Structure 1
């Protein structure tokens, strides 16, 4: 055997015995990446994306699947998405800021600000408080369950039109008796903000929350604005629930309004919930009220004033909200100590319970590290 061949064999042997380089180790999927991959592979999500802020302040972004089923394009990292009912947390913060300023009373009635507007079968705005709106204990029927996504997709609707839909139905319960999720509550909260400030809700969110904490990729779509402004994965929707996936990215989100119209990114949501829980958006008294919760369902979920808490498998809870709107579902929040934050988005609302639980599990993996 020649010296050259011997050297070559020696190098090959050393390479085989040596540990893999650091880059190869880091390339292995971690628990979050594995969870997103499974959402695409096993649950049929077109795409999944996440942003995770760890205890050292480092942010990791993740993607799985494809950003467009037609073209097969990549999922943009930390792309913009419609965040659905996460909007409620923003609306609640604006209301609570106004409460801190003495412009709204938390236990004042709806009629104090919108006299005579809320009347229906078993419904009376003189007996429903602002607190009950924010905590979903008003008993008001949910307009959201009475509208069709396809009918609303290309329509701009005013908030009062949505209220009219809700008031066609009788109350779900007496005010203050039980918890029951209803988009109508946040519709009215938004109308109260506009009545008290004399400005559009979108402007109040922008000047009170979005700009002060630097949410550079978060905005309230303008009337008639159907597209998403920055790089984003396409959103897909089934209607009916067992129907085929259809591209639903372009839509008029006005039917969501104060309850679900915002567009953001997972990283911006991490910043929002982190700043909120750190006390940088609300005075201590109002933040304490926001964190005062009631049971909401059977999975350990508790609902405060536009803010939820959920138990973690590693102990404790995390604070956030979550939301879905045709084409997107986003879940996540921040740990009790504020040192970890995570939000996960899938580009189709899960219709199977297993998929719903898998999205929640992905958040749990991200926050438990």
Structure 2
């Protein structure tokens, strides 16, 4: 076990019952004072260890922020070849958490009078959103942000052959992709349903939303996110990758993917294909700061935050989930309400949330679990961490 400051980091590799003793006697600085064992924290670390053990994942990390204090625990390893742990301040690809940043920028533009949530996409991108059963005059900005547009999915499912019009991310791993071309190709497929008829997750919605932001502002969506969110919040470990950028800046674990039945290093990739739907990089601590600031009303006026939090129930089993405008609400086992998003991209899965009392959690896994049970157990770690009390 590796421990650096009990309040800050608990890194767990192959851990035994020494955890409790280590928590009780960890170094507290110059005075070398012992801190009491925190039962809630122990439960979180044990849940993280169990996740690695049960599902044979390479590595995982939980980052908990509560009352201004941040602590981090890691299980497994951050590099299978070297056997090194997940870095304390690990930067990872955050996938679809990017959508919440994009939705926040769009709602800031709404507050500034530049965008009307219930205006048709055609107003902002004339002639762009059209195809079989697809009419940009009937699809609103709200439909895009809430996944009720009926636009077909442009991204081929992980491991599944790409359909005509879809982007195969693994085939395009090193390619700089043009979003407008991706959208044009996707819209050769028929609409999934009439706008507003139901909910269905589609990355195409946020590819189009990103195009709207760029058309209105004259800047890239990455530049807008940086200027409006990253810089004001001081998120020094968060960024939107440059076009053609393939590595992850700063300390990071290896991200793995199962390809052809083999686990391979998938850390490096060109994420231009993910774009506004999932390109960003951040640490767990920065994700916690972003979602906390958003829920606290530091990024949006009350009217726009209220619109963002208007959710529709999702057709899923288990605890109720609701999807707003790039913002998801879930009910925890302890009765609390949590807000966040989550993201999957080759190499990394991130799950988390923030509660009204200000406790925020991010769980990172260095491989997207293939089994639904594994993803469910990642969510259970989030639940355990959000419900625990320090």
How high is the TM-score relative to the length of structure 2? Answer: 0.86
> d(CA) in 2 for partners of 1:219 and 1:231?
14
> d(CA) in 2 for partners of 1:338 and 1:227?
36
- After superposition, give the CA deviation of every residue in 1:199-218 in whole Å (9 maximum; x if it has no partner): 11111000100000111100
> d(CA) in 1 for partners of 2:358 and 2:239?
25
Task: Report matched runs for 1:341-352 at 5 Å.
Answer: 341-352=360-371
Per the alignment, residue 94 of structure 1 pairs with 105
Task: Report matched runs for 1:105-254 at 5 Å.
Answer: 105-145=116-156, 146-239=166-259, 243-254=261-272
> d(CA) in 1 for partners of 2:203 and 2:302?
27
Paired residue for 1:359, among 339, 362, 378? 378
Per the alignment, residue 48 of structure 1 pairs with 60
Per the alignment, residue 78 of structure 1 pairs with 89
Aligned partner of residue 144 in structure 1, secondary structure: coil
> Superposition RMSD on alpha carbons, in Å?
1.6
Task: Report matched runs for 1:275-294 at 5 Å.
Answer: 275-294=293-312
- Displacement of 1:83: 0.1
Segments of structure 2 that go 5 or more residues without pairing to the other structure are 1-20, 27-35, 157-165
Larger radius of gyration between Structure 1 and Structure 2: 1
Paired residue for 2:292, among 274, 277, 284? 274
> d(CA) in 2 for partners of 1:297 and 1:152?
32
Segments of structure 1 that go 5 or more residues without pairing to the other structure are 1-19
Q: Is it true that 1:319 corresponds to 2:339 in the alignment?
A: yes
> d(CA) in 2 for partners of 1:180 and 1:94?
22
Is the 2:344–2:368 Cα contact (8 Å) retained in structure 1? yes
Per the alignment, residue 11 of structure 1 pairs with none
Paired residue for 1:258, among 276, 297, 306? 276
- Displacement of 1:27: 9.2
Per the alignment, residue 159 of structure 2 pairs with none
> d(CA) in 2 for partners of 1:338 and 1:83?
24
> d(CA) in 2 for partners of 1:239 and 1:184?
25
- Displacement of 1:168: 2.0
- Displacement of 1:139: 0.5
- After superposition, give the CA deviation of every residue in 1:55-80 in whole Å (9 maximum; x if it has no partner): x3321111111111111112101300
Aligned partner of residue 83 in structure 2, secondary structure: coil
> d(CA) in 2 for partners of 1:101 and 1:338?
29
> d(CA) in 2 for partners of 1:258 and 1:115?
20
Aligned partner of residue 207 in structure 1, secondary structure: helix
Per the alignment, residue 23 of structure 1 pairs with 25
Is the 2:167–2:182 Cα contact (8 Å) retained in structure 1? no
> d(CA) in 1 for partners of 2:271 and 2:37?
40
> d(CA) in 1 for partners of 2:302 and 2:344?
29
- Displacement of 1:152: 1.5
Is the 2:94–2:345 Cα contact (8 Å) retained in structure 1? yes
Per the alignment, residue 17 of structure 1 pairs with none
Paired residue for 1:37, among 46, 49, 62? 49
> d(CA) in 1 for partners of 2:332 and 2:299?
25
- After superposition, give the CA deviation of every residue in 1:240-263 in whole Å (9 maximum; x if it has no partner): 5xx221110000011110000000
> d(CA) in 2 for partners of 1:89 and 1:225?
22
Is the 2:91–2:250 Cα contact (8 Å) retained in structure 1? yes
